[in-house]
Amino acid sequence: AADTAITTVQVIKAAPSADGEILVLPGNVQAIKAASIHARTGGFLKAWHTDIGTQVKKGQLLAEIDAPELDQELSQAQADLATAQANYGLAQSTTARWQGLLKNASVSKQEAEEKAIDATAKKTIAASAAANVARLRDLESFKRITAPFDGVVTARNTDIGALINAGQSSGSELFRVADTSKLRVYVNVPQAYSAGTTPGLDASVVFPEHPGHAYAAKIARTANAIDPDTHSLQVELEVDNANGELMPGAYAEVNFKLAVNAESLRLPPTAVLFRSAGLQVATINADNRVVLKNVTQGRDFGTSVEILSGIDTNDNIVL
């Protein structure tokens, strides 16, 4: 009777996860480069040459703007420049003559200085007119809207005859160009996992439209700061998309394989006791007697519970 009164229990050892931990989080996919194309000069759209889905090269013509007022301003500025240059040439020759007369005392020194200063002023006016012509020529070049880099046209928000307003304002976007040869994937990693998600960590990205296929990715950089609103770390990954299978703006699931944390141990939920003294586990000491130990719980993985402190790998834990 005494022998049968002794309780028989099954014991296990707590151990870290052998294969690390798989963390699955949603990701926001963006193109490696994307730009909204706005007009730098006003007028009417004369022609557009690329529509959505068109592959473009850097410097390729997207559209042309007709700006007759700008053309007239340039013509007027060129005429003003010619006038200023002629006045400067006359002032130079006048100054040279008065300097010669000054040597013979035919004119006063005051008058000669006035002619020299007038020539300097005319030179400045000519330089200002030349700068104005250069400015208008730059604006003339903006009548040709070109692609800023190699990519694909993802949006066209204008048509022939549309009034074009210069500058960036609401509704003034003409085109949107994106370089999709490589994609950025942004993920918000919970604070508890932030220490393990560092640049260089490998990951795989899964897209719903490509079931059964995982795309290799790597963490390129992190924000190095926890967002105070979401208490998460923003992580940026890069995915190669040279074949153009993937599209920016898509939803994706990112799978991180985190390294093994030797400081945390795993136990099945049946080994954890929820008691009035707090979270405990039952251990067997050297005398084969039960000893309750208080533990600190980490994350709950469903099939296992992370234990941060209170036990070690040498403890015999009652299952």
Instruction: Report which of 43, 68, 66, 49 is spatially closest to residue 175, judged by C-alpha positions.
Output: 49
Residue 276, amino acid: S
Output the pLDDT for position 41.
87
What confidence tens digit (pLDDT) does each residue in 133-173 have? 999 999 898 999 999 999 999 999 999 998 888 877 655 78
How large a percentage of the chain has pLDDT more than 90? 44
Considering the chain, what is the average pLDDT of its residues? 87
What confidence tens digit (pLDDT) does each residue in 78-95 have? 999 999 999 999 888 888
Confidence grade of residue 204 (pLDDT, cut at 50, 70, 90): very high
Output the pLDDT for position 19.
59
Q: What is the pTM of this model?
A: 0.66
Output the pLDDT for position 147.
94
| 143-157, 279-293, 296-310: range with lowest mean pLDDT | 296-310
- Give, as one character, the DSSP assignment of residue 201: -
The rounded Cα 63 to chain-centroid distance in angstroms is: 27
Res. 18: pLDDT tops 70: no
Instruction: Please say whether the beta carbons of 150 and 50 come within 8 A.
Output: no
Q: What is the rounded CA–CA span in Å between residue 44 and residue 60?
A: 20
